[in-house]
Amino acid sequence: MIFFYLCPYFLIITIMLSSKVEQILVEQVEKEGYSSNLYLAMASWAETEGFPGISDWFYAQANEEHGHMLKLIHYVIDRGGKAIIPAFKQPPVAWKSVQDAFQQALAHEQMVSKSINNIVGVCLEDKDYATCQWMQWFVTEQIEEESTVNAILDRLKLIGEGSLYNFDKDIMSMRASS
């Protein structure tokens, strides 16, 4: 016969995610995974177009988005949920111009920001204050993401499409300063 003794030092209490919060976080896993793939596609396109600096910026961004996806996966698991890894739709493979690629990146980041804000709203409705607090990191991150891409677009407007050589050399310093 085996006896189990509950000792307060070993009692672990995990407050599990509601199915509603778990589902919306798993949906965000898909969005972050797609974001990573989108930036990989942009990096590949920029590299083949002869823009190694812009390509490096997009590769770094792809890695960052992959990290966001992993952060969400670990959180869902840590909270007792199942982080289902969905298939990701294929991103576009070409853009009209460097400016077009960054405009698409900004539109995408704005969509992600809206999604993050929606998650916070669901957490508040569900009274999941722990997840709401945890999501604040993503809220702040999205402000930075949009600001960085806006700054790049501002610089592209100033230099125009004809002077991309120096921009391509300097873009990584813009990433580091944000």
The per-residue pLDDT for 171 is 77
Domain regions of the chain by residue span: 22-177
Could you please report the per-residue DSSP string of 11-59? -----PPPHHHHHHHHHHHHHHHHHHHHHHHHHHHHHHTT-HHHHHHHH
Q: Please give the CATH number for the structural domain made up of 22-177.
A: 1.20.1260.10
Q: CA nearest 37: which of 105, 118, 119, 114?
A: 105
For residue 162 the two structure tokens come to 């004809």
Q: Where are the beta strands (DSSP E) in 49-124?
A: none
65 Cβ contact partners less than 8 Å away, ≥ 6 residues apart: 32, 33, 35, 36, 39
The per-residue pLDDT for 5 is 43
Q: CA nearest 28: which of 101, 131, 176, 148?
A: 131
Q: What is the pLDDT along the chain (178 residues), one digit of tens a residue?
A: 333 445 455 444 457 899 999 999 999 999 999 999 999 999 999 999 999 999 999 999 999 999 999 999 999 999 999 999 999 999 999 999 999 999 999 999 999 999 999 999 999 999 999 999 999 999 999 999 999 999 999 989 888 766 776 676 777 676 545 5
Q: CA nearest 84: which of 19, 130, 35?
A: 19
Q: Are 139 and 116 in contact (CB under 8 A)?
A: yes
The per-residue pLDDT for 164 is 73
